[in-house]
Amino acid sequence: MAETYWDANHLEEVVSQRAKILGPTVWAAAAPDPRPVISFAGGLPDIPSLPGEILVKAARWVVDNDAKEALEYNGTFGPRPLRQALAERSSRLEGIPVSMDQVMVVSGSAHGIGIMAETLLDPGDTVLVESPNFPGSMRTIRSFGAEQVAVPMDDLGLRVDRLEEELQKLADAGKRAKFIYCIPTHQNPAGCTLPLDRRERMVELARQYNTLILEDDAYGELWFDNPPPPSLFALSGGDHAVKISSFSKVLATGLRLGWTMGPSALVSRMAAVRFDMGSSSFLGRVVGQAIRSGDMDRHIENLRGIYKRKLDRMEDGLRRYCAPYCTWHRPEGGFFLWLELPAGIPSRDVQAAANEKGVIIGQGAQFFADGRATNHVRLAFSYVPMEEIEEGCHRLGEAMAEVAARAASK
Ligand SMILES: Cc1ncc(COP(=O)(O)O)c(C=O)c1O
């Protein structure tokens, strides 16, 4: 009886408007591929370097020294020792004073973006989004009934001239953007890092048009040779930007921990919207201890070298096997390479042909708020084992050659 009662029609009738917009597809719930695939698909950390020992050591310290607080509710803003450690570390890294009341701990940056959207968005609001972009965040913004306006990027990142045009268009219509969502550093999927002059211009525009920047910094600390320019949060002096950061890529995705930093009044309203009794007190204190001991920073230093070597290996493979069919710009950090294919080699066909050869890649309209996909492929070099990268590129090159040959014979 239960099964027929809960049929698709009944579900559609009872679920909220927001659930209707999101539809029945569960994010990232697909069963793992049973084949022994080479995955260039997911933005996931390198497996051999996952910091199990660091976390066990920090957890031991927490249980020995801080067990009561670690095993109780710690409130919606998150555990004070972690917020304190983040405020101190951020003041140092951002170069502006960051106080504890500007910091809220969240269950991963996806959660932080969700809280931000919940706090600020009503149906019919407008959000400007970099295009291409991270599909998870665009899905969240869309679910609140907001309209997303795609602002294009070039090889350097967001086109600030086009951003200005869109802000002006809204102003002419008597409206303003609720916020601008962007990933300025080691962008997902495009890999690029926005230069300083464009960052400064973005902050000026946010001030001028009375809006806010939501800066998603999931990959910001994973730079290879030189640190990126100051964050939009820092350039705005912490007033016209909220920065959402994550421990997922620098420690482990399974922790489900991240943090938001912004104007304290806004962070406080974001905390007021929440009712989840806060993120994990225990894990928050464990990560706080990993920060205080210096272990997290040493780990991040180590990761920078690992991801740089993986990128080098992938670029070698691409030059050897794929170069006739695509171009790319080397990212300065992060997890992704964004390949551009010529019009005659559709990325969708390359994805399908690569998939048949057991190589999984990302492409397509999912990265675009307006659904107008360009002919690009996203390759993650972070997760794939080092020794599989060359073979993956080899098979990808074969897939590209097949698609090109098919197109030529038409
Ligand atoms: C740009 C970006 N933002 C946010 C997230 C969400 O990460 P998490 O919730 O694990 O911090 C991801 C994950 O891939 C991402 O790529």
Residue 64 has pLDDT above 90, yes or no: yes
pTM recorded for the entire structure: 0.96
Q: What is the average per-residue pLDDT within 5-23?
A: 93
Residue 161 has pLDDT above 90, yes or no: yes
More confident residue, 1 or 326: 326
State whether residue 78 is helix, strand or coil.
coil
State the pLDDT confidence band at 410, using cuts at 50, 70 and 90.
Answer: confident
Distance CA 86, CA 68 (A): 21
State the pLDDT confidence band at 399, using cuts at 50, 70 and 90.
Answer: very high
Q: Where exactly are the structural domains of the chain?
A: 32-50+298-409, 52-293
The strand pair at 336-340 and 359-360 is best described as unpaired
Distance CA 82, CA 309 (A): 31
Question: Ligand 1 pocket: which of 27, 104, 106, 109 to mutate (most atoms <8 Å of CB)?
Answer: 109
Q: What is 89-151 written as a DSSP string?
A: HHHHHHSS---GGGEEEESSHHHHHHHHHHHH--TT-EEEEEES--HHHHHHHHHTT-EEEEE
Span 344-393, pLDDT tens digits: 999 999 999 999 999 999 998 999 998 888 999 999 999 999 999 999 99
Question: Ligand 1 pocket: which of 188, 259, 338, 383 to mutate (most atoms <8 Å of CB)?
Answer: 188
Least confident interval from 2-11, 98-107, 185-194, 376-385: 2-11
Report whether residue 397 contacts ligand 1, using a CB cutoff of 6 Å: no
Alpha helices in 215-346 (DSSP H): 232-235, 264-273, 281-292, 295-321
Span 185-232, pLDDT tens digits: 999 999 999 999 999 999 999 999 999 999 999 999 999 999 999 999
Q: What angle do CA 249, 80, 65 make, to 5 degrees?
A: 90
State whether residue 195 is helix, strand or coil.
coil
52-293: CATH, from 3.30.365.10, 3.90.550.10, 3.40.640.10, 3.30.1360.170: 3.40.640.10
Handedness of CA 29, 31, 32, 37 (dihedral sign): negative
Report whether residue 246 contacts ligand 1, using a CB cutoff of 6 Å: yes
Q: What is the average per-residue pLDDT within 151-169?
A: 97
Residue 112 has pLDDT above 90, yes or no: yes
Distance CA 144, CA 117 (A): 7
Report whether residue 134 contacts ligand 1, using a CB cutoff of 6 Å: yes
Residue 1 has pLDDT above 80, yes or no: no
Going from the Cα of 116 to the center of ligand 1, the distance in angstroms, rounded, reads: 14
Residue 9, CA distances (Å) to 3, 13, 15, 145, 281 in order = 12, 6, 10, 22, 40
State the pLDDT confidence band at 29, using cuts at 50, 70 and 90.
Answer: confident
32-50+298-409: CATH, from 3.90.1150.10, 3.50.50.60, 3.20.20.70, 3.40.50.1000: 3.90.1150.10
CB half-sphere exposure, 29, CA atoms < 13 A: 4
Distance CA 245, CA 106 (A): 9
